[in-house]
Amino acid sequence: NAGVMQNPRHLVRRRGQEARLRCSPMKGHSHVYWYRQLPEEGLKFMVYLQKENIIDESGMPKERFSAEFPKEGPSILRIQQVVRGDSAAYFCASSPAFLNTEAFFGQGTRLTVV
């Protein structure tokens, strides 16, 4: 089991470009969570998805940010028209069911907006 796979590990984008972050959950896991971590800060919840459904997106900015978890393929976090404040580490976690079982984190994608 390869664990939760995120790519790319590092992503550099110019202001105004789009950033696409991918997360492949562990085999058998159907729940995916995205978190953002600013430098020297904690993990902030963004969005919770199950296959083909967004369950809770209360932590995600209403504009420029979107997420999906299609029936086939990885979960995608998409940030349009990036700004410098979007620079952060973005972690996804997956679990087999609801979170009263262990959630496993990916290695994260470090987004730098220049």
Partner 1 sequence: GENVEQHPSTLSVQEGDSAVIKCTYSDSASNYFPWYKQELGKRPQLIIDIRSNVGEKKDQRIAVTLNKTAKHFSLHITETQPEDSAVYFCAALNNAGNMLTFGGGTRLMVKP
| Sign, CA torsion 97/44/6/72 | positive
Site for partner 1 in 64-103 (CB under 8 A): 91, 98-100, 102-103
Q: Using the CB atoms, write b or e for 23-49: b if 16+ within 10 Å.
A: bbbbeebebbbbbbeeeeeeeeebbbb
The residue range among 15-23, 37-45, 67-75, 80-88 that interacts with partner 1, by the rule CB under 8 A, is 37-45
Write down the residue that tokens 């220049």 correspond to: 114
60 binds partner 1 (CB under 8 A): no
Which one of 90, 106, 109, 113 is in contact with partner 1 (CB under 8 A)? 106
The residue range among 15-23, 33-41, 60-68, 73-81 that interacts with partner 1, by the rule CB under 8 A, is 33-41
Helices and strands of the chain, counted as H and E runs = 0, 11
List residues near partner 1 by CB under 8 A.
33, 35, 41-45, 48, 55-56, 58, 91, 98-100, 102-108
